[in-house]
Chain A
């Protein structure tokens, strides 16, 4: 069943990513980590649909945020990031998915690992943690090319200041001034020093490009995590033309 969402607000997260806030009057609610399918239809009836992770926490306002990274050869993402305006209507279906989700009833420590725009469903989890009575301890390891690629920067800092989540950034291309280490992919030392020890039985959610998720999950298993405690969501091999 396709629902209709009306664009309430647009916010540029980076030079290539935009957050779209939708109002969906018949939205049935969702769980942090779920996604929606979004469909565009041309005047002649041709349509194209893609999946996008929900960035917003469950809320009573029937509002939904997604953050879309523009892919150079994308069919849907360039429209969403460049042509869409406030007041436009979009079709969507969902929420979808029952595995890569975090529920406020989960009391165990949560380790989040994001590669680039893989932060989006993890942000929904952090926001859900912040807006619920949960006291689950959250850690986030967020790998980005450079500081300009960070999504939700100010909000993440505020959430960290409130003690909702501990955040470690890892820069793969350019590091900020006075950063103690050169740019690098996340490695065994970083994982060992910044993630929850496996002895605390954390649940880990990893989202990002396939190669990033492969590397990060391997490092966690190398540091003693059980494969059963690691949930993953991967993007396409070299960009999946969203």
Chain B
């Protein structure tokens, strides 16, 4: 039984079937990062997929942007409890990125410029669930929001959508990334409110 907060009524406008438990709607786009914002020039940017031993696939900015891109609209949910509904993006589907890769790995460790990492099961990256996005609301993705390109896995808490993404290592066994090793849930499903480790 929850403790009742005498005289508290709250702002009920936020009640929405699209809102996972414990979230509230924001119209801002807050920024959360563990360190400084890296700035990667496009002529040095690359996206690399490896299996921990060998490079399986490598793109530079031009070859990456030559991949077929999609426009899509999705809701995003941050573990710090804000959600932003109906955001529009442009990016390359992970189905396209992973199409030619043969591997029996079931997990990935996504890497970012600046050293950030996050682990995501491969099945959560496939079937139109994840993109490497480079445009937001019709504009090139701002540096502070992860430009030039970030992962977008909107069905998981937003820390999984790694900013400044640089590539991923395919893994047979799951292991925690940066926030997952610092108190946050290994999987991070907002609908099951998997915020913190041990939940």
Chain A residues with a Cβ under 8 A of chain B? 2, 4, 37, 39-43, 45-51, 75, 79, 83, 88-91, 93, 96-100, 210, 214, 217-218, 220-221, 227-228, 230-232, 234-241
CA distance A42 to B115 in the complex (A): 42
Taking A42-B4, A75-B11, A75-B24 as given, write out 4 further A-B residue pairs in contact, using a Cβ cutoff of 8 Å, ordered by the A residue number. Answer: A90-B3, A91-B2, A96-B183, A231-B34
Query: Secondary structure at chain B's binding surface: helix, strand, loop or mixed?
Result: loop
Chain B 27-46 per-residue mask, 1 if CB under 8 angstroms from chain A, else 0:
01111111111100000000
The reply to whether B35 and A232 form a contact with Cβ atoms under 8 Å apart is yes
Contact of A241 among B4, B24, B115 (CB under 8 A): B24
CA distance A131 to B78 in the complex (A): 34
The reply to whether A91 and B3 form a contact with Cβ atoms under 8 Å apart is yes
CA distance A49 to B22 in the complex (A): 7
The reply on B12 being an interface residue by CB < 8 A is: yes
141-199 of chain B: CB within 8 A of chain A: 144, 178-179, 181-183, 196
Question: How far in angstroms is the closest Cβ of chain A from B128?
Answer: 29
The reply to whether A40 and B182 form a contact with Cβ atoms under 8 Å apart is no
Chain B residues with a Cβ under 8 A of chain A? 2-12, 14, 22, 24, 26, 28-38, 80-82, 114-115, 144, 178-179, 181-183, 196
Q: What are 8 contact pairs spanning A and B, CB under 8 A? A: A47-B2, A49-B81, A75-B24, A97-B183, A210-B31, A230-B36, A236-B28, A241-B82
Could you say which residues of chain B place their CB within 8 Å of the CB of A218?
A: 36-37
CA distance A89 to B11 in the complex (A): 21
Contact of A210 among B7, B22, B26, B144 (CB under 8 A): B144
CA distance A218 to B33 in the complex (A): 14
B8, B26, B31, B38: most-surrounded residue (chain A CB, <10 A): B8
Chain B residue nearest to A35 in the complex (CB): B80
The reply to whether B28 and A238 form a contact with Cβ atoms under 8 Å apart is yes
The reply to whether B30 and A210 form a contact with Cβ atoms under 8 Å apart is yes
Chain B residue nearest to A49 in the complex (CB): B22
The reply to whether A230 and B35 form a contact with Cβ atoms under 8 Å apart is yes
Chain A residue nearest to B80 in the complex (CB): A51
A37, A51, A236, A239: most-surrounded residue (chain B CB, <10 A): A236
Question: How far in angstroms is the closest Cβ of chain A from B197?
Answer: 9
Chain A residue nearest to B198 in the complex (CB): A1
The reply to whether A237 and B29 form a contact with Cβ atoms under 8 Å apart is yes
Contact of B82 among A96, A100, A240 (CB under 8 A): A240
Contact of B144 among A2, A43, A214, A230 (CB under 8 A): A214
Q: Given A40-B8, A90-B5, does the pair A221, B182 have CB atoms closer than 8 Å?
A: no
Could you say which residues of chain B place their CB within 8 Å of the CB of A228?
A: 35, 115
